[in-house]
Amino acid sequence: MSRPGFTTILEKDSPPMMFNAGDGFHYEKLPEGTRVIYPPGPVDALADPNVAIERALLEPMGMEPLHELLRPGMKLTIVFDDVSCPLPPMRPPDNRQLVIEKVLEKAYAKGVEDIHLIAALGLHRRMTEKELRWALGKKIMGSFYPDRLYNYDAEDEEGNTVIGETDHGEQVRISKRAAESDLVVYVNINLVAMNGGHKSVHTGISPYSSIRHHHNAHTLRNTKSLMDPPNSALHGSVNRMGEVLDANLKVFHIETTLNNATFPGVFNFMARPEHEWNSVTKANFLANHKATSKMPRSAARRIFQSIVAPHKMTSVQAGATDPVHTETLKHLHRQHLVHVEGQSDVLMLGVPYIGPYNVNSIMNPILVHNMVLGYLFNLYKGKPLVREGGVIIATHPVPNEFDDVYHPSYRPFFEEVLSQTTDPHEAEKRFEEKYIYDPWYRTLYRNAHAYHGWHPFTTWQWGAHALDHLGDVIFVGGDPYTTARMGYKRADTVAEALQIAQDTVGPNPSKTYMHIPPLFMCEVS
Amino acid sequence: MLVEAYRGKTVLLTGGTGFLGTALVEKMLRSLPELQRLYLLVRPSRDKGAKERFEKDMLGSPAFSRLREELGDGFEERVAEKVRVLEGDVHTDSLGLGAEDLAELSREVDAVIHSAASVVFDAPLDAAVDSNVRGTLGLLALAGTWEKAPLFVHVSTTYVAGTKPGLIPEEIPGEHSPNGTRLDPKGEVALLGGVVREVEEASRERGLARQFGTEARRELGMVGEETEVAERVEQLRRAWVRERLVERGNERARELGWQDVYTFTKSLAERRVLEERGDLPLIILRPAIIESSVAEPHPGWIQGSRMADPIIMAFARGILREFPGDPESIVDFVPVDHVVNALISAVARGLSVRPAEPEVYQVASGQRNPIRYREFYEYVREFFLANPLRDSGGRPIPVPEWSFPGHRRVEGKLKAELVALNIAGKLTARMPGGHLKTDLRGRAARAEKRARMSLYFSRIYGTYGSMESIFSSARVYELYRSLPEEDRSVFPFDIAQVDWKAWLQQTHLPAITHKPGRKKRRVVSKERPGEVAAIFDVDGTLVASNVVSHYAWLKMRDLPAALRPAWAASFVLRVPLYWALDKVSRTHFNRVFYKNYKGWKPARARALGKESFSGYVLKRLYPEALATLRAHKEAGHRVVLLSGALDFVIAPFEDLVDDVLTARLEEENGVYTGELSGAPIAGEARARMLASFARRRNLDLSRSYAYADSISDLPMLEAVGNPVAVNPDGRLAKAARERGWRIRDWRKKDAPGPLDGGF
């Protein structure tokens, strides 16, 4: 049994706190009385993932065992999560490889020949050959790539088909290959509660014409929270689509969860509370801190991006989407949930170097916004950790840097759209169309490894609920230009930021430091 | 009064169906109502009798539209009343007429106007002497026997003066040729007859006959029957004779100081007429270069292709890249209506005066209103710059710029080119059959055609283009001044009143470019407006790459890591070969190089092609190229990629542009054969492909843009109205500068963007 998450109140002689700050760190002593919430330790891994997978396939939830669904001459499509999870990438073999190898074994045994594997990237960037090999292993790649193992293409007019419409008038359009299959097996890695379930198909192998019904400024403003599906308008829409899908298509869902063993030994200070640091841990941290602050950012980024996580599989469940996902959420909560008493005026967050959209890439200002207001803010169940009108203080340099290969439309979004409005609704109304249908963005999405031209709109919208909720956002160490463009404040130190926050929340605010990563969720009572 | 001078008079005209003749008949019918009768001696053509030729060809000509309009129903009546067509030929005895007709002519004719001639500068000697000298003498002899001893009007040319420099007076020729050689006209004609016989005999010599036989058998190969071979031998012999006669005629002409056999035989005709005229009153009328009319029957009326027109058209079609003349020499034009009016006036005078001494009139502009080649060229160039001709694909043809380097240099260069092409031709003939051979042959054939045509023009017209003589027209002017005011307005021929620039640009050039039968070369196409396109080459223009390095990238990706270094080392050795091949022919290079893809699986190629887009192409994409392409797209233009690269490497661009035209490989049993399916998209083929694509899609190439980097793209760039040379190689840069095209260097970091000065 792992250590549960816990809360401590800082005292006068408490050690300084380390913060993640993008491709580096921040280290500062916080005021007495600051509440610090630490994540739970990694939960125990499955003793033998292969056995667990075998069992899940033999005894699925709400559906026949997989082998009974397989027959010769059938059309089988295996869909799997893309490069956006897990974070950081896990040490092979990846959950997807383990699961898919088992599924294929059964399919071969039943004489199934028409098998396609599709990376469910939705409007994310295409996975590279190397990334696919990392996630699936040599064996699968050798047998299927590139003819029968490929990236989903939302912009392929011929490759997508409408299968129906929800009672809210939402068009359900998905990959034609999947729609025409006798069976779709969806293989998930569920890192956070937001993902998995019906969201998988309806974002992973759906084009914009379908995604727009749940990924828009209106829905995302009413998504409280993203990580809490019952209280998420996004998940409401996705579940309606799921009903249409289930009526038309047999989907055998396999979801897996991981523990939060995120960092290898050299970075063990990240997962260990400061008061438990010994001199070696501290020296290690300071050495890393010093080194990353002195070296060019691109070099630091390379080091961080090379981190491979020692994640371990903690559960695997298979069968019908809904019962499977309910079970998955239980396992996720077991790893992630920390009970916390009461909200806070000010929430302090360290911003990690990696998010779902910058694997092997740069976390540009919009992705920083997305990380803080979209992801970290939403890591709650019940009510937000920071009170309405409260302030978030996040440590990140927010450099004015963009990866023009992976995120070609982000810089134009930052320069063109944000210079005129930071309101997600207005941005959507005035600019979205141009970005969606831009032929160059489409070209890069389909043929290079670029996020869809529309993607910055959605990453900006992820913050819609937080923008409504919060009084202010202050970036410690943030670039004055980028933070101002996004409508945020900046400070050099957390102390200075706390000073600035008082203009919004009044003197002597309650302060909480949510000590991430690894990621966890707060159930606030 | 001219009208009165013709009252009750009867005129016999030869050469009535010609350019000058038609204009003369029209004017006489329209403006000389008192003329008693006009006899037209018309030669039957191969498929039409004289009457039919007159009624269909002549009266059907637009020359008569005005008169038809003026007379309405009275037109037929007027023609029937005035004109009598006689089927005959000046070359035959007694004109080929029956006794009755001859008796009628003898009784009636007051004046004979002999306008029939062979205006072929490179006619074989026998034909030229026959039609220009013998025909004239036959007619003259006949007229000498007629009752009224009619006035004989011999239409000649000012160029009978030959190459003699200085002012050429309106006088009968003396006893010397233009270069001062003493000339006995009768003896000379006899001598020429001897030359013809000599050539004929030479052609039957045994050695030559064997040569013809060998050639005929080689041509007909194993399939030729003996009779066929014999027929072919005779054809070859006649062709040889003809060629020799052309040579010998021009040789003799030049020996005596004439430009060619035409002016030589015309002069001989004048001289012989003077000797043989007896008591007949004689007028010799020498027009200079007759061109389209200033005013009558309507401005710009012209028939056939006159002397200057082939040069003008060759210039406008970009064939004649340099002119072998002296820019300061005079190009002596006279509008056809001036010649007609001068002729009518001279004949009227001759009818009333019946001069004892022969009278010579020169209808020319050089003395009183000269136009020089430089001005002529400038007016013409200006016109075609504004109204370029179009090729079959509707693409405007760029006009050359002439620097007038001199006759010798132009010819020298052309001859050198032909020698080189000849050697190249022999070399290619020895090459093993293949694409390169076909390619080179096609190229050489086109170059040779152009050079030969240029050389032909240079030889034929060269001397006319560097004339140092000026034709006096004092007598013609005097004749004009002698006319009463009324006649001057009805029969104007004061050359000083012609504005050459206006006449060329507003009358003559539109006339010759709009002539029926030249539909394809219409100046402005007035079809429905087509779409504007922006055509981009890919390798070197959009992307800093080429098919070789792109292939190397793909191949390296395809190979296991361990094999890559060895493969790369072996591939590098082949690069110079590819480079050299490409210099010879992009087309051939493509065919050879693409064999490297033999055995590749299409799916794998597509996957690698896609991978290369991000791993290779994007990194080499010129940002300015992309910005320009996108600006075109935003402007609503149809963006087309036209590339010699293969479909699977270009495929990723398909979403960015409207159309992609690329090369494709043949597939067999699920793998590429390494052969191209269809022709390589390079050079002329690329332009042809674009032209046919433009027709299908209704693109307006004249308003379209094209971007390319290599000399092999020149035909494609020439096909559009807005060509841009991008990162051009040396040869393309030079061509672009010569043509005044825009040049962009997108390799530079601070290259001007698409918004700097339009696209």
Q: Which residues of B621-635 are buried (b: 16+ CB within 10 A; e: fewer)?
A: bbebbbbbbbbbbee
Chain A residues inside the 8 Å CB shell of B618: 405, 444, 448
Res A15 pLDDT > 50: yes
Q: What does the pLDDT look like over A167-192, one tens digit per residue?
A: 988 999 999 999 999 999 999 999 88
Residue A297, in any domain of the structure: no
User: Could you tell me if B649 and B555 lie in one domain?
Assistant: yes
The residue segments making up the domain with residue B217 are 190-253
Identify the domain boundary among A258, A288, A307: A258
| DSSP label at residue A437 | S
pLDDT of residue B433: 52
Chain B residues inside the 8 Å CB shell of A440: 626, 630, 656
State percent of chain B over pLDDT 90.
8
User: Could you tell me if B92 and B216 lie in one domain?
Assistant: no
Select from A141, A441, A447, A449 the residue whose CB has the most chain B CBs within 10 Å, as the one to mutate to test that interface. Answer: A447
Residue A314, in any domain of the structure: no
User: Could you tell me if A229 and A345 lie in one domain?
Assistant: no
Chain A residues inside the 8 Å CB shell of B623: none
Return the residue of B nearest to A450 by Cα.
B614
User: Could you tell me if A27 and A97 lie in one domain?
Assistant: no
Average pLDDT over residues A117-146: 93
User: Could you tell me if A108 and A229 lie in one domain?
Assistant: yes
Q: Distance from B697 to chain A by nearest Cα, in Å? A: 21
Chain B residues inside the 8 Å CB shell of A442: 655-656
Identify the domain boundary among A258, A273, A298: A258
User: Could you tell me if A58 and A154 lie in one domain?
Assistant: yes
Residue B555, in any domain of the structure: yes
Q: What does the pLDDT look like over B76-87, one tens digit per residue?
A: 888 888 888 888
Average pLDDT over residues B724-747: 88
User: Could you tell me if B723 and B606 lie in one domain?
Assistant: yes
Average pLDDT over residues A369-398: 94
User: Could you tell me if A75 and A104 lie in one domain?
Assistant: yes
Q: Distance from A381 to chain B by nearest Cα, in Å? A: 41
User: Could you tell me if B584 and B716 lie in one domain?
Assistant: yes
The residue segments making up the domain with residue A180 are 49-258
Pairing of strands B638-646, B10-14: unpaired
User: Could you tell me if B653 and B683 lie in one domain?
Assistant: yes
| Count of structural domains within chain B | 3
| Count of structural domains within chain A | 2
User: Could you tell me if B25 and B133 lie in one domain?
Assistant: yes
Q: Smallest Cβ distance to A146: which of B603, B652, B657?
A: B603
DSSP E strand stretches across B253-386: 282-287, 289-291, 333-335, 359-363
Return the residue of A nearest to B619 by Cα.
A405
Of A148, A143, A146, A151, nearest in space to A175 by CA: A151
User: Could you tell me if A405 and A436 lie in one domain?
Assistant: yes
User: Could you tell me if A122 and A13 lie in one domain?
Assistant: no
Residue A147, in any domain of the structure: yes
User: Could you tell me if B53 and B148 lie in one domain?
Assistant: yes
Q: What does the pLDDT look like over B138-169, one tens digit per residue?
A: 888 888 888 888 999 999 888 888 878 888 88
Residue B439, in any domain of the structure: no
CB contact under 8 A, A447 and B633: no
Q: Distance from A155 to chain B by nearest Cα, in Å? A: 9
User: Could you tell me if B545 and B584 lie in one domain?
Assistant: yes
User: Could you tell me if A24 and A168 lie in one domain?
Assistant: no
Q: Smallest Cβ distance to A439: which of B603, B614, B633?
A: B633
User: Could you tell me if A216 and A99 lie in one domain?
Assistant: yes
Residue A26, in any domain of the structure: yes
Q: Distance from B307 to chain A by nearest Cα, in Å? A: 56
Mean pLDDT of chain B: 82
User: Could you tell me if A389 and A519 lie in one domain?
Assistant: yes
Return the residue of A nearest to B648 by Cα.
A447
User: Could you tell me if B149 and B269 lie in one domain?
Assistant: yes
Chain A residues inside the 8 Å CB shell of B654: 443
Q: What does the pLDDT look like over A340-356, one tens digit per residue?
A: 999 999 999 999 999 99
Residue B372, in any domain of the structure: no
Please tell me if residue A339 touches chain B, with a CB cutoff of 8 Å. Answer: no
User: Could you tell me if A160 and A252 lie in one domain?
Assistant: yes
User: Could you tell me if B136 and B267 lie in one domain?
Assistant: yes
User: Could you tell me if A14 and A94 lie in one domain?
Assistant: no
Q: What is the CATH number of the domain that holds B629?
A: 3.40.50.1000
State percent of chain A over pLDDT 70.
100
Chain A residues inside the 8 Å CB shell of B606: 146
Residue B682, in any domain of the structure: yes
Res B438 pLDDT > 50: yes
Residue A310, in any domain of the structure: no
Residue A504, in any domain of the structure: yes
pLDDT of residue B535: 94
Distance CA A126, CA A135 (A): 13
Label residue B435 by pLDDT band (50, 70, 90). Answer: low
Average pLDDT over residues B536-560: 87
Helix, strand, coil shares of chain B, percent, nearest 5, are: 55, 15, 30
Distance, C-alpha B596 to centroid of its chain:
45
Q: What is the CATH number of the domain that holds A213?
A: 3.40.50.11440
CB contact under 8 A, A448 and B618: yes
pTM, rounded to two decimals:
0.62
Q: What does the pLDDT look like over B33-50, one tens digit per residue?
A: 888 889 988 888 877 888
Residue A321, in any domain of the structure: no
Residue A318, in any domain of the structure: no
Residue B132, in any domain of the structure: yes
CB contact under 8 A, A443 and B653: yes
Residue B145, in any domain of the structure: yes
User: Could you tell me if B263 and B239 lie in one domain?
Assistant: no
Per-residue H/E/C for B510-576: HHHHCCCCCHHHCCCCCCCCCECEEEECCECCCECCCHHHHHHHHHHHHCCHHHHHHHHHHHHHHHH
Identify the domain boundary among A258, A284, A304: A258
CB contact under 8 A, B652 and A443: yes
Distance, C-alpha B123 to centroid of its chain:
18
Q: What is the CATH number of the domain that holds B137?
A: 3.40.50.720
**Residue A93 half-sphere exposure toward CB, CA atoms < 13 A:** 16
User: Could you tell me if B623 and B678 lie in one domain?
Assistant: yes
B331's tokens: 């190009």
